[in-house]
Structure 1
Amino acid sequence: MADPRVHIRSIGTALPGAPIDNAGLARHFKMTASFAQWIDTYVGTSFRHFAFDLDTGKREYSLAELGAEAGSRAIANAGIEPGELDLIVMATWSPDQLIPATVNIVADRLGVNDLTTFQLQSGCTGALQALDVASQLLIAGRHRTALVIGADTCFKHFRPGLDPRRMEPGHLVNTVLFGDGAGAAVLSRDPAPGAPLLRHVSVRLTGLNRAPGQSADWFGWGDTLPDHLPIAEDYKAIEEAVPAMAVEMFHELLEELDWSVEDADYLLPPQLSGQMTERITGLLDVAGLQEISCVRETGNMGNALPFFQLELLLPRMGAGDRALGVAIESSKWIKSGFAVEMP
């Protein structure tokens, strides 16, 4: 169990550009209004933000820029100076380059040096992996103040000229599911008024002898194989496995914390899509918990999403309130969860 001395001092988030609604996607793909309605009904996402121009595919924001913006906001919200950081951990599945690691470009943009940095390559559970690594290093006494970042620019894996009418359903879902963004948290061994405790983080790989549910190649549409799709997904397997994994993780968290459902006040469910979130919360059957979700308004931003949920959660928490969060990764089937408590 994570040590209660790990405090979440602040959260910061960043979104690129203006929101794009489903009607805007339909216009871009030269589809009718029924296509926008299909996205809303079947996927459950109303808006998303892209770091790339939708029409030209030109990059307007790098992942490092978004990560640094979210990090700067978290640092300012914590009331500290960048130089007080002695650790940065960043999670992403869509780095700007193989090297230098994006986390080190973020550090440069923040104007910090002579500190420890880690970059974790993972999908939807990467943010929780980063929280786990940072909190364990703080508990060990190696570091005192950490910046944890989760960020992804997913849309760069899709070319602007895609024709939805010629796409298989799984690829079509991916095309309208994702958005781009970044989130960050300042963790510290030093308490502060109103700072909740990161009580527990759990991450576990469960994909032995199981085919990946989703894969993403390093090269996108710049690959030398013009007919090759850089994103592949077994959406049926995800629909079947992810809700069950989320329920398992939720109850495992309760057991590890020795909490009952009645001990918790808030639920931060997985944010794969609006429809999937509704399905998961229905299976959990926890009507007494207040749900904190944002995916309908932001799209699936991968590693950024838990920080957007935390940004919504923290102002609502009162003394003694408890929250449980769950994130599931279908790439090789990873379960993760965390618990937050306000002293």
Structure 2
Amino acid sequence: MHASDIHILAVGTALPGPAVDNAALARRFGMEAVWEQWIDVFIGTRTRHLSVDLDSGEIRSSLAELATAAAGRALAEAGLAASDIDVMVLGTATPDVLMPATVNIVADRLGINELPTYQLQSGCAGAVQALDVASTLLATGRHRTALVLGGDVSAKHFDLDVDLRALSPEELVNFVLFGDGAGAAVLSTEPVSGSVAIRAIVNRLTGLGRAPGQVIEWFGLADRHADRPAASEDYKMIEESVPVMAGEILTELLDGLGWDADDVDYLLPPQLSGRMTARIMRTLDAPRAQEITCVHETGNNGNALPFLQLERALPKMAAGDRAVGIAVESSKWIKAGFALEKI
């Protein structure tokens, strides 16, 4: 954990295409009879935004396109130009290609050059890890302003011709759980009126000896015909582990800062799904906190989620208000979180 005088000046987000509801998803895969009800009962997500068009199969948005749009909105909100950025960090589990790094494509599209860029490969903790890296770099005094990005696009893993009735539950859940999107935040060592100070960040691998809760494969020419699934997850393991880990993250943040649970005005819980987020909230001790949740409408779009939550939370915060965000990476179990205070 670390605390420093790093401030979030602005946040921007981007979502692809129109919202896709459960009925449309069920119709596309011929599962109307049971699937829509199953999504509602077990997942609890009403809509999501997808980079792939369900009718044509066309991929409409790349991660670079969404991240560039989110970055542009964050910069405009902060009143800064792209040339004001000193360092860029992107967290994602789904880069557009292995090389070049997506962060560098975004920089090119923004017209940014001659600065250090970093891309972190991570699941749902990637956005917090990117905040951690950027905050640490700013705290050295070498840089003044950072652009932090996070997002995921799952279009590469969407097989529109698959027979869902033949899939295992570990594969089936991926068709209803996830959405696509990107977010960006502008960080600075120089506060402005109404900015939010980052008081602490938790970022820690805790997966020693534990089996992965989620696996996303990539295939090359040698194994492109492999029969292993492109994406799978142990949802039961995630369901059991994430609420416990979320509680541990909240406790660590509060204890490290000397805050009481009653001091938290806004709580940004993990956004796995509508049902899971509700279950996690019941386990968290923050009795006064207003919950900031978006997964019901956006789906689980991975590293975009903390930015979508921040975009909703920051306008609500008054001077002195405190917010805590929590993220859990289940592929190899990473605890992540942050604490903010409106100055």
For Structure 1 versus Structure 2, the TM-score category normalised by the shorter chain is over 0.9
C-alpha distance after superposition, 1:127-181 (max 9, x if no partner) = 0000000001111111100000001002321211122222222211111100000
Q: Check whether the contact 1:214–1:231 (CA below 8 A) recurs between aligned residues.
A: yes
Measure the CA separation in 2 of the matches of 1:212 and 1:10: 34
Cα–Cα, structure 1 residues 220 and 320, in superposed 2: closer, same or farther, change >3 Å? farther
Q: Does 1:81 align with 2:81?
A: yes
SS at match of 1:186: strand
SS at match of 1:23: helix
Measure the CA separation in 2 of the matches of 1:222 and 1:177: 30
In structure 1, the residue matched to 2:259 is 259
In structure 2, the residue matched to 1:42 is 42
In structure 1, the residue matched to 2:52 is 52
Q: Check whether the contact 1:157–1:221 (CA below 8 A) recurs between aligned residues.
A: no
Cα–Cα, structure 1 residues 30 and 220, in superposed 2: closer, same or farther, change >3 Å? farther
C-alpha distance after superposition, 1:251-295 (max 9, x if no partner) = 111111111101111110000111110111101143321000100
Measure the CA separation in 1 of the matches of 2:43 and 2:65: 29
Cα–Cα, structure 1 residues 305 and 173, in superposed 2: closer, same or farther, change >3 Å? same
Which moves more between the two structures, 34-43 or 127-136? 34-43
RMSD between aligned residues: 1.6
In structure 2, the residue matched to 1:24 is 24
Cα–Cα, structure 1 residues 221 and 338, in superposed 2: closer, same or farther, change >3 Å? farther
Measure the CA separation in 2 of the matches of 1:252 and 1:88: 28
SS at match of 2:332: coil
Please give the TM-score of this superposition, normalised by the length of structure 2. Answer: 0.97
Q: Does 1:93 align with 2:93?
A: yes
Please show how residues 1-343 of structure 1 align to structure 2 within 5 Å: 2-219=2-219, 224-225=224-225, 227-343=227-343
Opposite residue 198 of structure 2, the aligned amino acid is L
Q: Check whether the contact 2:15–2:49 (CA below 8 A) recurs between aligned residues.
A: yes
Opposite residue 36 of structure 2, the aligned amino acid is A
Provide structure 1 residue ranges, at least 5 long, that are not aligned to the other structure: none
Cα–Cα, structure 1 residues 329 and 12, in superposed 2: closer, same or farther, change >3 Å? same
Q: Check whether the contact 1:157–1:220 (CA below 8 A) recurs between aligned residues.
A: no
Q: Check whether the contact 2:59–2:155 (CA below 8 A) recurs between aligned residues.
A: no
Opposite residue 181 of structure 1, the aligned amino acid is G
C-alpha distance after superposition, 1:30-84 (max 9, x if no partner) = 1225421221221011111111122333211111101100001100110011100
Cα–Cα, structure 1 residues 61 and 220, in superposed 2: closer, same or farther, change >3 Å? farther
SS at match of 2:173: helix
Q: Alpha-carbon deviation of 1:221?
A: 12
Q: Check whether the contact 1:159–1:221 (CA below 8 A) recurs between aligned residues.
A: no
Measure the CA separation in 2 of the matches of 1:33 and 1:149: 40
Opposite residue 161 of structure 1, the aligned amino acid is D
Measure the CA separation in 1 of the matches of 2:312 and 2:222: 37
Measure the CA separation in 1 of the matches of 2:115 and 2:164: 46
Opposite residue 276 of structure 2, the aligned amino acid is M
Opposite residue 176 of structure 1, the aligned amino acid is V
Q: Check whether the contact 1:267–1:292 (CA below 8 A) recurs between aligned residues.
A: yes
Measure the CA separation in 1 of the matches of 2:37 and 2:315: 33
Q: Check whether the contact 2:90–2:150 (CA below 8 A) recurs between aligned residues.
A: yes
Measure the CA separation in 1 of the matches of 2:254 and 2:150: 25
Measure the CA separation in 2 of the matches of 1:302 and 1:223: 27
Q: Check whether the contact 1:145–1:186 (CA below 8 A) recurs between aligned residues.
A: yes
Matched length:
343
Opposite residue 98 of structure 2, the aligned amino acid is L
Measure the CA separation in 2 of the matches of 1:98 and 1:92: 12
Q: Check whether the contact 2:88–2:147 (CA below 8 A) recurs between aligned residues.
A: yes
Measure the CA separation in 2 of the matches of 1:162 and 1:251: 43
Opposite residue 130 of structure 2, the aligned amino acid is A
Measure the CA separation in 2 of the matches of 1:172 and 1:276: 17
SS at match of 1:319: coil
Measure the CA separation in 2 of the matches of 1:232 and 1:177: 12
Measure the CA separation in 2 of the matches of 1:248 and 1:66: 33
Cα–Cα, structure 1 residues 24 and 190, in superposed 2: closer, same or farther, change >3 Å? same
SS at match of 1:259: coil
Q: Check whether the contact 2:48–2:179 (CA below 8 A) recurs between aligned residues.
A: yes
Q: Check whether the contact 2:261–2:285 (CA below 8 A) recurs between aligned residues.
A: no
Measure the CA separation in 1 of the matches of 2:3 and 2:236: 39
C-alpha distance after superposition, 1:293-322 (max 9, x if no partner) = 100100000000000000000000001000
Provide structure 2 residue ranges, at least 5 long, that are not aligned to the other structure: none
Measure the CA separation in 1 of the matches of 2:97 and 2:58: 16
